[in-house]
Amino acid sequence: MSFELLDECGAKKIVLCRDAETGLRGVIAIHSTTLGPAAGGLRMKAYADEREAMRDALRLARAMTYKYAASGIAVGGAKAVIIGDPSTHKSDELLRSFGRFIEELGGEYSAGEDVGTNGHDMEILAESTQWLVSLPEEAGGPGDVSHTTARGVRQAMRACAEHVFGSPELTDRSVAIQGLGQVGAKLARLLAAEGARLVVADIDDERARAVADEVGARVAAPEDILESDVDIVAPCALGDAVNEHNVNRIHANIVAGAANNVMASEAIADRLQSRGRVYAVDYVANAGGIVYDDWMIQRPRPATFDHDAALARVDAIYDRTREVLQRATADELPYRVAAERLAEATLHNASR
């Protein structure tokens, strides 16, 4: 079963992690180390079974390979998952145990925050592994990177707006944001400051109303928001946001958000494009959060980090998204294929 999944995703390695004492069941999926040691978030989720967890980890790891390659960052792609509800199953002992599995890989994989994990969890992991790309500033890391992720998604939106409307300006554009976690809420604030008209939704209704009150947005139901009659929809929650059930009901001209694996499948992505909709390829659009990762995995780690240079790399998401859209249009390609070719050119040059 594991080899079938590796073949399916073109991945290098799956590491299964089990600790009976803490109840840990986890997966580390390493897709590629062509560009350098691999990194990717550590997700904690109540998966139905081990196969679902492995498939999700491998799919996300592949996206990380392409995200780093498309961003020109010399890091390979990986992802880790812990099976369990983070609200009830997570413990410091479980995280320390998983950290020991990461440490045994000797730097081949470095972990970061993801769905179901946070900065405090990274500090607990740091007690048993040095290989982390997410840490609070007081613990020697870059701190909260959700602001750079949101900034990068905004740049991807601007590139899509230029492609569709002839101008990158988002003033008076209507935008619907699905998911108001750390990134979605910051994106809402950035867009509101630019003069966009917002519709927002979150499964936490209290959070949705708080953000809406702050930025002057209208609240919609989470299950309906991607079908809003707006210029742009921004999926910023979990993956598979655009799927068989809603792909033909998306009215927006543009789909550009922070979620990983926004499209449920390649066929869904192609169907959306065939309807004349433009989408920002997710691993290009949401790459703003990885600009510190190559610095974090260097040994010895440089004493200082050039934050201005990092923000310049985030803002370059505009240029990369623009390049993908232009290449896709010129060569009559799906947007996803144009992005893959951009990333694969980097991987090919590195492997020569």
User: What does the buried/exposed string (b/e) look like for 173-187 if buried means 16 or more CB atoms within 10 Å of the residue's CB?
Assistant: bbbbbbbbebbbbbb
SS3 content of the chain, % helix, strand, coil (to 5): 45, 15, 35
Q: How many CB atoms lie within 10 A of CB 326?
A: 13
Which tokens is 20 given?
């009976």
Q: Quick check: 339 and 70 in contact, CB under 8 A?
A: yes
Has 79 been annotated as catalytic?
Answer: yes
Which tokens is 221 given?
């139901």
The helix (run of H) or strand (run of E) holding residue 111 is: strand 109-112
Q: Which strands, in side-by-side order, build the sheet including 278-279?
A: 218-219, 197-201, 174-178, 232-235, 254-255, 278-279
Length of the chain: 352
Quote the Cα angle for 335-339-341, to 5°. Answer: 120
Full DSSP string of 93-123: HHHHHHHHHHHHTTTSEEEE--TT--HHHHH
Query: 5 CB contacts (<8 Å, ≥6 apart)?
Result: 11, 14, 51, 54, 55, 58
Q: Count how many Cα atoms sit within 13 Å of the Cα of residue 275 in the half-sphere of its side chain.
A: 17
Bridge partners, 166 (sequence order): none
Taking each continuous run of H as one helix and of E as one strand, the counts in the chain are: 13, 11
Quote the Cα angle for 312-349-316, to 5°. Answer: 15
Residue 127 phi, psi (nearest 5): -75, -20
SS3 132: strand
Of the candidates 340, 348, 343, the residue with the CA atom closest to the CA atom of residue 266: 340
Which of 12, 13, 67, 79 is catalytic? The answer is: 79
Cis omega before residue 302 (within 30°)? Answer: no
Annotated catalytic sites, by residue? 79
